[in-house]
Structure 1
Amino acid sequence: MKTLIAMIMSSLLSGLAHAEQISCRVVAISDGDSFDCATTASTQIRVRMAEIDAPERKQPYGQQAKQALTKLIYDKSVMLHVHSIDRFGRTLARVFIGTLDVNSSMVQQGAAWAYTEQLKDQNLRDTETFARNMDKGLWAQPAEDIVAPWKWRYAGRINEHAKKQTRPQTSFSQF
């Protein structure tokens, strides 16, 4: 089974190597850094915006980040500059509408972080610093609400693990 998955992923990646740019229309927004778009061939693509990380839906500022992305790209034609496919099968890409770099715009508005684990464009780090200094978007929130999404996801996994570990033990000693 692992071999089959590897072959499928390899096939997808080799196809993307030839198609470094994909034009599509945005048909759904999942959150502040993920969306679905449809190509002219009616193929639907799940996209994760490369080099940025926006707050999760249930995280403080998550809904505002989703709204910011919706305002920028929903029902519009975009150009995907494909980086790769992630472990969930999503297309990792920089997103453009004409000359507008949507990934950078999300960071500039304070709706996303520069995602240091994926960062190739160091200008995104400078853009984030500017947004922080100007208290844009999420940076205007109370300090306790400003948690990087990767830390927030990690804390959620730790809390879920702790819940599983603290289930009451059934005692059969009374029988």
Structure 2
Amino acid sequence: MNKILSLAFLILFSPNIFSQQITAKVIGVKDGDTMEILFENKPLIVRLAHIDTPEKKQPYGQKAKQFAADFCFGKTVKVVGEGKRDRNGRLIAEIFYKNQNLGKELVRNGLAWHFKRYSKSSNYAALETVARKKKIGLWKDKSPVAPWDFRKKKRRPVRTL
């Protein structure tokens, strides 16, 4: 009996085993890859899976945020993920509106990188390759700075005595 209860508990409460799909309203757009949704009358922060958009102070950062806002702000969307969270506690998931994937649209429009460090998706990789070849969005720049490199530069070096 204890084994059955343990298995049932594991299935019901382990967020990383099964994929999850919820429907929620987007109530905020923090930046190009981070949305706030209202789910079961509670706010929840969602970090888009597979991508990284420029930081707000980077070129194309505000454009990515505006694109995301135009795509989904105030709308009821489908949020699909595996229940995983990032180090900041944000749910990592994809957001769909009318069967369009926000992350893929950001990459397709040259407003995001495929975040290869955390994603092995060949679909996102192919979308980035096409955007680069066509010089769409941030790929118009001669040497765009990836957001993870931009964040590293912003961190202050540790002082030694």
CA distance in 2, matches of 1:76, 1:16: 27
TM-score, with normalisation over the residues of structure 1?
0.78
Deviation at 1:60, TM superposition (A): 1.6
CA distance in 2, matches of 1:79, 1:131: 25
Aligned to 1:7: none
Aligned to 2:123: 123
- The structure richer in helix per residue is 1
Kindly report structure 1 stretches of 4+ aligned residues shifted beyond 4 Å. 15-19
The two structures, once aligned, show a CA RMSD in angstroms of: 2.2
Using the aligned pairs only, state the percent identity.
Answer: 34
Aligned to 1:54: 53
1:83-122 equivalence runs, <5 A: 83=82, 84-122=84-122
CA distance in 1, matches of 2:120, 2:98: 21
Aligned to 2:137: 137
**How many equivalent residue pairs?**
150
Q: Deviations over 1:81-129 (max 9, x none)?
A: 1131111110000111131111111100111000001113211011001
- Pair 1:161-2:132 in alignment: no
Question: Partner of 1:35: helix, strand, or coil?
Answer: strand
Rg bigger for which structure?
Answer: 1
Question: Partner of 2:103: helix, strand, or coil?
Answer: helix
TM-score, with normalisation over the residues of structure 2?
0.84
Aligned AA for 2:80? H
Aligned AA for 2:74? D
| 1:107–1:67 Cα change, 3 Å | same
Q: Deviations over 1:59-78 (max 9, x none)?
A: 12111111111111111111
- Please, which runs of 5 or more residues in structure 2 have no aligned partner? 1-9
- The structure richer in strand per residue is 2
Aligned to 1:63: 62
Aligned to 2:78: 79
CA distance in 1, matches of 2:32, 2:112: 7
- Please, which runs of 5 or more residues in structure 1 have no aligned partner? 1-9, 170-175
